[in-house]
Amino acid sequence: MVGKFRKSRFNTPIILIGGYLLLFLSIRTTILTFDRLPNSLNNISIFFIFFFPLVTTRVVTYTALGIKTAISLTSILTAYANATSPMEQDMLINGIISNIVFPLFSLIYLEVLFRGLERIRSMNSQLAAEKEQAEKSRNIKAEFLANMSHEIKTPISGVIGMSQMMLSQNPPSYVRENVLHILDSSKNLLAMVNNILYYSKIESNKYTRKEKFFLLRPFLESLFYTMKQTIPEDKSLTLCHDLSADLPLCIYSDALKLRQILINLISNAIKYTPRGTVTLHCTPTSEGLCFNVIDTGIGIKEEHLTTIFEVFEQVDTHYTKEHQGTGLGLAISQQLAQVLQGTITVTSTEGEGSCFSLTLPCRVEQKKTESPSKEKASEIPRALQDTPLLEKSIHVLLAEDNRVNQIYIKHFLEKNNISTEIAMDGAEAVSLFEKSSFDLVLMDIQMPRMSGLEAAKKIRHIEQQKGSSPTPIIGISASTTEIIEEVSTEAGINAVFPKPINIAQVMGEFRKLQHSS
């Protein structure tokens, strides 16, 4: 269809130019042959041929052509009747012939013109309809993937959560080894699902920048701790970060997208570095910041450096594949960087390692942080769940419809001296909230009978009626998209965490909410 449209774009100007040239010569012949016609009629001829067909219908054009021809012939016949010499009569006869030939040529040309215009309009309409259908199909696919993300990620979260719970119970070594394999496989599966969903959103053009000021150093340290937890225990790998002393206190950018880019780059470095170090550097530039992820891994061949940012592209061949993944991580990072108006470049030496650099233009608050930070990952505790999270016990309402998620979330909460009451859906959560007092509500966003969003709205309404201070509500969801975060904020939910939830991070958010209130 696009080919046909392009062909018509080239054919139509040829038809128009050829027809205009033919008619112009006919008009000029008529004028030169019979220059006694009024100038107004000559002007009407030119205006009629060049402009009239483009602004009206075929019937009106043909009717106007007939009227114009009749007026011209009437004028010529009147002049012929008043002619006084044979030479003048011969010229008038030539004029009569021209005014008969001219409409015939006009009819042929106008028919070709109208058919060409109709063909173009038809193709434009068809292309518009196909474009609309393609966008509709793309949106349906995006909605399908969004719904499936919840259905797929919920059981994966359950497997990860239960595996972590088993590891926290100090199982025998042979059981521990098997559970670690289950945990690593589950995390790999979750990462692949997340990458597919991210790519689907980017393909659907559903990503826009949502910038705000945020503290840079806490952002990086939180990211660093999260990535430290992803290092397989069978790797002799050290994760480090080296943050410049000149870093600004705050930057104005999209924290979620920046976090995803850095997660993908660091995950990629961890995957392809069997031993050694992976280091995150961050330094200020004249336009913003520069992030470097440097590893001592297997490196990249020079011929692959130009293709690794393409979709589904991996260094491994299909027959000697040693590393798992979809080949989407770097492609997603590159496209997210473009959304942030940044760039990602890579330098690498095969067998020695790679350096991925993200240049991010952003506004900064020029106040400097107090001291540089250079810290090894081994200095951060590996399982924060094994340490007390709060100074005193609190009472938590957990609204979660999935039984497996209930078990492992309750296990980690109670292990840290946090009493928990469980609601199977939003309606039961609202009922329990009316009857009891809670320090924190953990609310699953998608539940039967009543969603977490509706339940949160009702809880905020109850608090307004009672005149009580707002209880922190933290949402948990298998799909933490920007839309979910927006509607959650509108519903009165303070923060949203993805499944499987990290209890330490949730309690850290709870402490922040307590201090802010």
Is the pLDDT confidence value at 414 over 90?
no
Question: How far from 275 is each of 30, 52, 293, 305, 509, CA to CA, in Å?
Answer: 91, 78, 15, 22, 34
Mean pLDDT of 265-282: 90
Q: How confident is the model at residue 451 (pLDDT cuts 50, 70, 90)?
A: very high
Is the pLDDT confidence value at 193 over 50?
yes
Q: How confident is the model at residue 40 (pLDDT cuts 50, 70, 90)?
A: very low
Is the pLDDT higher at 70 or at 119? 119
- Per the listing, tokens 């590893």 go with 295
CB 357 within 8 A of CB 296: no
Is the pLDDT confidence value at 369 over 60?
no
- Residues with Cβ < 8 Å from 502, sequence gap 6 or more? 226, 384
Average pLDDT, the chain: 76
How do the domains of the chain map onto residue ranges?
Answer: 156-204, 212-313+326-364, 395-515
- Domain 395-515, what architecture? 3-Layer(aba) Sandwich (3.40)
Of 294, 217, 207, 209, which Cα lies nearest the Cα of 248?
217
Is the pLDDT confidence value at 323 over 60?
no
DSSP 8-state code for residue 471: P
- Phi/psi region, residue 163 (left: phi>0; alpha: psi -120 to 50; beta: rest), is alpha
Of 277, 288, 286, 418, which Cα lies nearest the Cα of 352?
277
Q: In the prediction, which pLDDT does 207 show?
A: 65
Q: In the prediction, which pLDDT does 425 show?
A: 93
Q: In the prediction, which pLDDT does 396 show?
A: 93
Q: How confident is the model at residue 28 (pLDDT cuts 50, 70, 90)?
A: very low
CB 254 within 8 A of CB 209: yes
Mean pLDDT of 30-40: 43
Q: In the prediction, which pLDDT does 290 show?
A: 94
Is the pLDDT confidence value at 385 over 60?
no
Q: In the prediction, which pLDDT does 60 show?
A: 66
**Tokens (6 digits) for 329:** 């991580």
Mean pLDDT of 297-306: 84
Q: Give per-residue pLDDT as tens, 213-252.
A: 888 988 898 888 878 877 877 778 888 888 888 888 899 9
- Residues with Cβ < 8 Å from 51, sequence gap 6 or more? none
* Half-sphere exposure for 494 (CA within 13 Å, toward CB): 21
Mean pLDDT of 500-504: 80
Q: How far apart are CA 392 and CA 262, in angstroms?
A: 35
Is the pLDDT confidence value at 6 over 60?
no
Mean pLDDT of 252-276: 89
Of the listed ranges 33-42, 358-367, 460-469, 500-509, the one predicted with least confidence? 33-42
Q: In the prediction, which pLDDT does 368 show?
A: 44
Q: How confident is the model at residue 366 (pLDDT cuts 50, 70, 90)?
A: low
344 alpha carbon, distance to own chain's centre: 18
Mean pLDDT of 375-381: 35
212-313+326-364: CATH number: 3.30.565.10
Q: How far apart are CA 143 and CA 140, in angstroms?
A: 5
CB 284 within 8 A of CB 364: yes
Is the pLDDT higher at 436 or at 321? 436
Q: In the prediction, which pLDDT does 459 show?
A: 95
Is the pLDDT confidence value at 56 over 70?
no
Q: How confident is the model at residue 400 (pLDDT cuts 50, 70, 90)?
A: very high
Q: In the prediction, which pLDDT does 133 show?
A: 84
